[in-house]
């Protein structure tokens, strides 16, 4: 079956992650089986005990001398009652622990995979809905074991043991039961999975389509109200919702069907086992107590099979999650190329030769035919409106992105041949978007230099005129900056990002809108500090407009980008503050 | 009006599907009755076989009866599940409709005060989160009371002492429920908080991946993710040890009650118990009681399993109720239209109209002025002076305070464009037809040409059917603005309201928009433009200068 082999291919990497915890999984499954077998034992022994006592009681009443050991079965009943509870408790606790360990494994694995990706894959995926889906997908996979692996395995083992147990007393009953349970097991797992695959696989995308539609509608409420097309739009949303609900209805019906079949199969198995056991009793091959015990034991299969139909009807959801994560986690192996020669340690010249970038699916290239040469110590400004290709250029220079055309060299070595560690040490990039971790001020600064001592941090803060502010904070460097730096102002966040640069010692510095969100007076003070720190380093500024609100220090050349194409302003400036000669 | 609480919202919603839910509970109850019947048949057959030595061949009838009840039970289960699911689907559809309707009535300005992504999350995921409560918990709540009562009644009839053993557990049932409930709710809350904190940590690292990589820091970040997840595990296991105990107690009582009943019945059958009804026990009644005992606890165990559905639904309902409770301003409701202006030449008359936002006081006005047909008006002023608010007032997105009025010509249609044009997931044509669903392709092409997008259109192999609006692909900011402008051309609305149409655009897009606006002006449309742009100001025939919400008409043109 091509479909099931592709399913296995999809799940394999994640089963591999699970396999690293093999011993825990076996133990957890064992506890699950123990719980089930205790329930089975409790039913079976109680049935045996009551029948045996009932029959013996009748003999007593008839005045016949009879003996019955009541202590062993009585003890067994109490034992099973206790082990059922205890093993269930332990199983839940232990397996929860396992699932949480798996969560840590999966997140770590996925993050490592994401970290090895080209930034283009991530760039379009900053949106919080994508990130939320990412965590939801991981959560779906971490319960793979608890919903889809352990329960069917335990049910299969319990079914086999039960059939063997029955067969020991009544071979025919054991064979019939075994066949019926196996057929049921196959249906509740594979059959239900097949029934629900299509609908459960598309469920997430239908949910996303609806959420996307709602989001667009809410964002565009002004235009929709103006053009009086809101009602039409709402009808569209209703259609999206109807599609989602149709899938849910279908899945719900199929789960209900599976549950109904499960109840029917187990019930029928009980009745048939009683019938066959009664035949054996009449033939004199088993006792009356055993005749009742066997069907009672079969009753416990309700517990083994109960959760299977729902879990497997929704298998497609797990598959979808795995597919999406595979897309992220299995990129073309971005093996670091062997450096042809050791990267130079001294000054670096940056050269771009006819560089172009075209994003897949984009209508026009993001960057087209850009050539430039930046000698050591030179400062270049690239100006352009939003969407003109500046951020693409930043990504190229930080090697977050590979050019689709042309070549980039740094210090006579192709940029993509630089060893990662050396490149990061020699090139510092300030991205347009300020990225701060939801952590302390110190931790955010130490991203740039984990070895920096407090004194160095204070000095860096002083360079961006934040030392006084940070000094007045009750928790000082330990102050948490909040999610995305939201607890501090945008201007302060920008300055923290700048301060990070000052903790490093790069040869090439790329600054994308360095003073974005910083007020004019502060920016002027920052300009002076920046100018001093930049001395002797090569600099690429990316700005909305060169010589705009706040002049950046020391610009010597300017290139304008319009829709990704350079129009060289080619003004060579000399002297401070970028004033033309 | 009392505030809408989560519990009331849930109760009201469930009440709209009372019939389906009652039918579902009825099916569940019948299932319970069939289970009792099956247990009785089992016990009767066993007793007839072993005690009365009735030959198996003569028991075909009870076996046939038993086998025939089995599909019936399956059928009832199927009916119960589908009825409850249909109820849940209907409720969710209704609630989502109500929520979206309410948001639409609140209008663009109030909606913009919320985070769009979180509103969408409420309207989609949070509404879906009610499913478990509606489709499972509500029905199970009824069954958790009714089925144990049924079982108890029959046991009482068979052997009152055995019933007392079950009943001894019965006073504990509310205690179980409270225990399980409290445990589940607390667990749910704590888990939720911890999980979202952990997800936050992960998302935070993924979001900052570029920076982490630029600083060569990904190795450390990977370790920190593992450490955070593992720290969460250790903390969480500490609370889980206790939380799982509550359901273990329920399990324990169920198991022990079955064991006690089994042992009592066994010793009773042996004649060891000389007290009460024990000497009347038979194999039939004994087995029957034994088979019923687990069914006494089963519905409660199911309820405990579904308890987290309730907690999840309450959490979701709370936030939805908050949103539904936001009042719609009187003049945004359809029942309070202002009378139209006196003259036919007047499109819009503002009569001492002012706008106040809660917490910020009056942000605009009072403004008294008239917009005539064919005017091209620019609104200038520092940021925060109320330019956008004035446009929103003209559009009717915000309501004037009670002592003023904003009167529009009858059936006045208007076009709107701001800095963040709406791009929907679909084709270029879909995006244009937002302004006029009936427009044909020729009209769409003309509109694109008027907005200086004809050149782009000519370059697209799929033409009007080119998909746009996909994240990361498609139109640049300037092109999106021009697309919004094409909608303005398509709409033919006499009044055009533009909020900073040229802000943050490249020179080419700016030029295109400028000449397109000139074309609109020449076509006799009435334009009101909030802008800083000198060329746009030059285009205008009138100029309104705003200063801290006060309007002054500056002689112009």
What is the DSSP annotation of B516-548? HHHHHHHTT-EEEEE---HHHHHH-SEEEEEET
Q: What is the DSSP letter of B275?
A: S
Residues 155-174 of B with CB under 8 A from A: none
Nearest residue on chain A to B223, judged by CA atoms?
Answer: A108
Q: Are A51 and B50 in contact (CB under 8 A)?
A: yes
Four-residue CA torsion sign, A561, A563, A566, A567: negative
Give the percent of chain A with pLDDT over 90.
39
DSSP B419: S
A429 contacts in chain B (CB < 8 Å): 214
Mean pLDDT of the B396-421 span: 84
Do B237 and A97 make contact, defined as CB atoms within 8 angstroms?
A: yes
Cα(first)–Cα(last) distance of chain B, in Å? Answer: 53
H or E element, residue A371 = strand A367-374
Query: Average of pLDDT values for A354-373?
Result: 82
Question: A304: pLDDT confidence band, cut at 50, 70 and 90?
Answer: very high
A49-93 pLDDT, tens digit each? 999 999 998 888 888 888 888 889 989 999 998 999 899 999 989
Residue B536 phi, psi (nearest 5): -70, -40
Strands A557-562 and A379-383: parallel
Q: Give percent of chain B with pLDDT exceeding 90.
A: 32
Lookup result for tokens 């009745």: A271
Q: What pLDDT, on a 0 to 100 scale, did the predictor assign at position A581? A: 32
Please check the confidence at residue B388 and state whether its pLDDT lies above 50.
yes
Return phi, psi of residue B31, to 5°.
-55, -45
The winner for highest mean pLDDT among A433-437, A562-566, B284-288 is B284-288
Q: Which two tokens stand for residue A160?
A: 């086999």
Chain A interface includes B196 (CB < 8 A)? no
Residues of A in contact with B212 (CB under 8 A): 115, 447
Both tokens of residue B287? 């087995």
Percent residues over pLDDT 70 in chain B: 91
Using a CB-CB cut-off of 8 Å, the residues of chain A touching B504 are 385-386
pLDDT band at B208 (very low <50, low <70, confident <90, very high): confident
Mean pLDDT of B168-185: 65
Q: What is the pLDDT of residues B340-386, one digit of tens each?
A: 777 777 888 888 888 887 766 788 878 898 998 888 999 988 777 88
Question: What pLDDT is stored for residue A294 in this prediction?
Answer: 96
Q: What is the pLDDT of residue A547?
A: 60
**Pick from B59, B104, B209: CB nearest A122:** B209
Rounded-to-integer distance, Cα B187 and Cα B243, Å? 7
- φ, ψ of residue A544 in degrees (nearest 5): -65, -50
H or E element, residue B349: strand B346-357
DSSP-derived 3-state class of residue B280: helix
Q: What mean pLDDT is reported for chain B? A: 85
**Whether residue A351 has pLDDT greater than 70:** yes
Q: Is the pLDDT of residue B336 over 70?
A: no
pLDDT in tens, A405-432: 899 998 888 888 888 888 888 999 998 8
With CA atoms as reference, the chain A residue closest to B90 would be A245
A109 falls in which pLDDT band (50, 70, 90)?
confident
Among B45, B50, B286, the strongest candidate for a mutation testing the A interface, having the largest count of A CBs within 10 A, is B50
pLDDT at position A568 over 70: no
Average pLDDT for B265-269: 89
Give the gap in angstroms from C-alpha B378 to the nearest C-alpha of chain A: 19
- Greatest mean pLDDT range, A163-177, A202-216, A335-349: A163-177
Question: Over 80: is that where the pLDDT of B473 sits?
Answer: no
Give the CA angle between residues A384, A432, A385 to the nearest 5°. 15
Cβ pair B262:A49 closer than 8 A: yes
Confidence band (pLDDT; 50, 70, 90) for A572? very low
Average pLDDT, chain A: 86
């Amino acid at each position: 079956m091509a479909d099931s082999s592709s399913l296995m291919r999809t799940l394999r990497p994640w089963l591999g992650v699970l396999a690293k915890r093999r011993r825990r999984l076996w133990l957890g499954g064992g506890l699950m089986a123990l719980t089930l077998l205790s329930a089975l034992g409790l039913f079976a022994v109680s049935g045996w005990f009551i029948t045996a006592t009932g029959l013996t009681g009748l003999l007593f009443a008839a005045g016949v001398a009879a003996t019955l050991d009541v202590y062993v079965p009585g003890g067994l009943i109490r034992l099973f009652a206790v082990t059922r509870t205890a093993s269930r408790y332990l199983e839940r606790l232990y397996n929860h622990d396992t699932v949480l360990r798996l969560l840590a494994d999966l997140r770590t694995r996925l993050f490592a995979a994401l970290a090895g990706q080209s930034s283009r894959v991530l760039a379009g995926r900053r949106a919080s809905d994508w990130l939320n889906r990412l965590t939801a997908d991981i959560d779906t996979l971490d319960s793979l074991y608890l919903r889809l692996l352990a329960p069917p395995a335990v049910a299969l083992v319990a079914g086999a043991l039960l059939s063997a147990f029955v067969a020991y007393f009544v071979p025919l009953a054991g064979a019939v039961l075994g066949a019926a349970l196996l057929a049921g097991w196959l249906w509740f797992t594979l059959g239900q999975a097949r029934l629900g695959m299509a609908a459960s696989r598309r469920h997430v995308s239908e949910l996303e389509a609806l959420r996307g539609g709602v989001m667009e509608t809410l964002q565009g409420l002004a235009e929709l109200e103006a053009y009086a097309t809101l009602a039409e739009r709402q009808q569209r949303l209703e259609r999206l919702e109807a599609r989602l609900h149709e899938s849910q209805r279908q899945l719900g019906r199929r789960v209900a069907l599976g549950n109904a079949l499960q109840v029917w199969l187990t019930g029928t198995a009980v009745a048939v086992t009683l019938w066959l056991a009664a035949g054996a009793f009449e033939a004199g091959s088993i006792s009356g107590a055993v005749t009742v015990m066997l069907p009672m034991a079969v009753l416990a299969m309700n517990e083994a099979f109960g959760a299977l139909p729902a879990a497997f009807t929704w298998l497609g959801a797990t598959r979808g999650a795995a597919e999406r994560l595979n897309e992220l986690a299995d990129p073309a192996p971005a093996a670091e190329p062997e450096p042809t020669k050791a990267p130079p340690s001294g000054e670096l010249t940056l050269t771009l030769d006819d560089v172009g970038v075209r994003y897949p699916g984009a209508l026009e290239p993001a960057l087209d035919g850009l050539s430039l040469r930046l000698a050591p110590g030179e400062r270049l400004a690239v100006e352009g409106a939003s969407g003109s290709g500046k951020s693409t250029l930043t990504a190229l220079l930080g090697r977050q992105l590979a050019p689709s055309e042309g070549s980039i060299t740094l210090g006579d070595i192709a940029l993509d041949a630089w060893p990662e560690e050396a490149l990061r040490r020699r090139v510092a990039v300030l991205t347009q978007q300020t990225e701060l971790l939801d952590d302390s001020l110190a931790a955010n600064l130490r991203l740039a230099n984990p070895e920096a001592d407090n004194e160095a941090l204070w000095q860096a803060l002083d360079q961006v005129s934040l030392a006084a502010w940070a000094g007045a904070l009750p928790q000082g460097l330990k102050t948490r900056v909040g999610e995305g730096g939201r607890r501090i102002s945008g201007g302060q966040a920008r300055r923290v990002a700048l301060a990070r640069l000052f903790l490093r010692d790069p040869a090439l510095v790329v600054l994308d809108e360095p003073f974005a969100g910083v007020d004019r007076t502060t920016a002027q003070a920052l300009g002076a500090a920046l100018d001093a720190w930049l001395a002797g380093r090569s600099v690429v500024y990316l700005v909305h407009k060169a010589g705009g609100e706040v002049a950046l220090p020391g610009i010597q050349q300017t290139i304008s980008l319009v829709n990704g194409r350079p129009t060289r302003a080619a003004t060579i400036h000399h002297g401070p503050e970028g004033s033309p000669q | 009006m009392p505030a809408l609480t989560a519990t009331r919202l849930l109760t009201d919603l469930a009440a709209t599907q009372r019939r389906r839910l009652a039918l579902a509970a009825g099916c569940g109850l019948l299932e319970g009755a069939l289970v009792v019947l099956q247990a009785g048949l089992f016990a009767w057959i066993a007793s007839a076989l072993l005690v009365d030595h009735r030959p198996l061949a003569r028991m075909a009838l009870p076996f046939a009866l038993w086998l025939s009840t089995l599909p019936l039970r399956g059928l009832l289960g199927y009916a119960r599940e589908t009825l409850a699911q249909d109820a849940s689907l209907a409720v969710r559809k209704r609630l989502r409709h109500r929520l979206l309707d309410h948001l639409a009535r609140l209008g663009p300005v109030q909606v913009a005060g919320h985070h769009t992504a979180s509103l969408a999350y409420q309207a989609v995921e949070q509404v879906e989160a009610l499913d478990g409560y509606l489709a499972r918990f509500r029905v199970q709540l009824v069954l958790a009371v009714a089925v144990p009562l049924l079982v108890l009644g029959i046991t009482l009839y068979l052997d009152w002492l055995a019933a007392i053993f079950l009943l001894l557990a019965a006073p504990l049932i509310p205690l179980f429920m409270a225990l399980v409930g409290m445990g589940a709710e607390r667990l749910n809350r704590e888990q939720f908080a911890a999980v979202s904190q952990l997800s936050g940590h992960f998302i935070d690292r993924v979001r900052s991946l570029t920076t982490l990589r630029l600083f060569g820091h990904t190795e450390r970040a990977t370790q920190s993710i593992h450490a955070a997840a593992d720290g969460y595990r250790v903390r969480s296991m500490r609370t889980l040890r206790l939380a799982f105990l509550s359901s273990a107690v329920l399990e324990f009582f169920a198991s022990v009650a079955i064991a006690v009943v089994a042992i009592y019945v066994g010793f009773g059958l042996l004649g060891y118990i000389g007290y009460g009804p024990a000497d009347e026990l038979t194999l039939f009644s004994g087995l029957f009681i034994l088979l019923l005992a687990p069914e006494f606890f089963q519905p409660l165990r199911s309820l405990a399993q579904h308890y987290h559905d309730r907690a999840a639904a309450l959490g979701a309902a709370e936030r939805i109720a908050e949103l539904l409770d936001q009042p719609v301003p009187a003049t945004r409701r359809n029942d309070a239209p202002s009378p139209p202006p006196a003259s036919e030449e007047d499109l819009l008359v503002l009569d001492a109209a002012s706008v106040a936002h809660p917490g910020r006081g009056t942000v605009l006005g009072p403004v008294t002025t008239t917009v005539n047909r064919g005017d091209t008006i620019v609104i200038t002023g520092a940021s925060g002076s109320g330019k956008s608010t004035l446009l929103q007032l003209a559009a009717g997105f915000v309501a004037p305070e009670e002592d003023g009025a904003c009167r529009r010509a009858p059936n006045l249609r208007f076009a709107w464009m701001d800095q963040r044009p709406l791009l929907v997931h679909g084709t270029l044509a879909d995006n244009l037809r937002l302004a006029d669903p009936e427009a044909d392709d020729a009209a769409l092409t003309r509109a694109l040409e008027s907005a200086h997008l004809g050149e782009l259109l000519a370059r697209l192999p799929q033409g009007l059917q080119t998909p746009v609006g996909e994240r990361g692909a498609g139109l640049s900011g300037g092109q999106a603005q021009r697309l919004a402008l094409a909608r303005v051309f398509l709409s033919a609305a006499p009044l055009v309201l533009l909020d900073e149409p040229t802000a943050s655009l490249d020179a080419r897009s700016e030029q295109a928009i400028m000449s397109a606006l000139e074309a609109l002006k020449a076509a006799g449309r009435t334009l009101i433009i909030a802008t800083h742009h000198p060329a746009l100001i030059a285009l205008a025939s009138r100029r309104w200068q705003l200063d801290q919400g006060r309007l002054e008409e500056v002689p112009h043109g």
